[in-house]
Amino acid sequence: MSVATRPPPHPWRWRRALGLALLILFHALPWLQWNGRQALLLDLNARRFDLFALTLWPDDIGVLLGLLAVMAVGLALLTHLAGRVWCGHACPQTLWTRAFDGIAQALARVLPAQAARPFTHVVWLLLSLWTGITFVGLFSPIRELVAGAFDGSWSGWETFWVLFYAGATWGNAGFLREQVCRSLCPFARMQPLLTDPHTPRMLYDPRRGEPRGARPPALGGVLGRGRGLLDPTTAQDYVFRAAHPLLAGPMPTFSADRLGDCIDCMACVRACPMQLDIRHGPQADCLACGACLEACTRQQQQAGFGPGLISYCSPQVMAGQPRRWWRPRTTVLASMLLALLACGVWRLF
């Protein structure tokens, strides 16, 4: 393959590797052993919680609640400083939806169209069933649970919970998809309380991209051909007109040499799992998964216009201002996390 025909590198390639690694970790976690026993097991019958070298009993419920509180506050602090990295890269809904999409795309490439769809659902159901078994294996010894699947020795509760989580996985990742994040997830509704103008998010650069429209790639990007960046007010005016055509009226007609670098290919919209158009401004439902960033970068590189028009940064950085790492919410969340850790250390030692 020549240099001219070689596809451009994929940005954020690590997000696929991270998702695969987290899926493997989840399914492998119940099988890990520690001193001859299951390393992670919340055994409800024996009323003990094994967490590698730590064993908690019913009178240690405060320690377990403390661990959950530390993880919750830590997730809030991570979201405040780094944006929705959990939602976009580690949330089970994101991981399994991405896995389901990968399975569907792989089968569509090797099977006829009529056979691909039913076979896709069969594979989805098998993955969902194994997910249900894995999850229940965190509460019931996994080796006995898997053996019981073949000899029919599951209890009624084990059967119920395996089928319940298998059905939930199949329904959420296969059908509900973005509706889980948009309407059902409580953490998604808390995002505005955790973020501020210095929190990174997916942002479109209208100063370089507007006014959008198809144009010959031979003209080059706006920086290379001397048109330069628009002023912020004009750029935002074009964004508003594109997002609200009925309210703002039709866009003016521009010559090709005055158009921005956005070729209006809609690749970012098609790639978005939430079906959002990031060019219309910051989106409350955006998961910051990087799909639009990757799609835009690929299109811009293929057109020879330079880097992509979508960046993962804060609005302050996009406006050219320095980023502040320490803010009032940072102080509150960090103080809560340190207090919980101090209480935990005092409780254990």
Expressed in percent and rounded to 5, the helix, strand and coil fractions of the chain are 60, 5, 35
Q: What is the pLDDT of residue 324?
A: 87
Where the chain has pLDDT below 50, the residues are 1-10
Q: What is the pLDDT of residue 10?
A: 47
Distances (CA, A) of 129 to 123, 156, 282: 10, 16, 37
Q: Which residues of 241-278 are buried (b: 16+ CB within 10 A; e: fewer)?
A: bbeeeeeeeeeeeeeeeebbbbbebebbeebbbbebeb
Q: What is the pLDDT of residue 12?
A: 62
The enclosing H or E element of 310 equals strand 310-313
pLDDT digits (tens, 9 = 90+) for 250-264: 888 898 889 999 999
Q: Residues 294, 287, 83, 234: is their CA dihedral positive or negative?
A: positive
Average pLDDT for the chain: 90
Contact 335, 303 (CB under 8 A): no
Burial class (CB in 10 A: 0-12, 13-18, 19+), 63: middle
Q: What is the pLDDT of residue 246?
A: 87
**What CA–CA distance (Å, rounded) separates 81 from 69?**
18
Q: What type of residue sits at position 79?
A: T
pLDDT digits (tens, 9 = 90+) for 19-47: 999 999 999 999 999 999 999 999 988 88
Report residue 320 as tokens.
Answer: 């050219």
Q: Where are the domains of the chain?
A: 14-38+91-194, 201-313
Q: What is the pLDDT of residue 292?
A: 95
Contact 212, 260 (CB under 8 A): yes
Contact 344, 70 (CB under 8 A): yes
CB count, 10 Å around CB of 150? 7
**What CA–CA distance (Å, rounded) separates 20 from 253?**
46
Report residue 333 as tokens.
Answer: 């969340």
Strand 54-56 and strand 48-51: pairing? antiparallel
Q: What is the pLDDT of residue 8?
A: 43
Q: What long-range pairs does 25-33 form, CB within 8 A, spacing at least 24?
A: 26/92, 26/134, 27/130, 27/131, 27/134, 29/134, 29/138, 30/134, 30/137, 30/138, 30/142, 31/142
Q: What is the pLDDT of residue 251?
A: 83
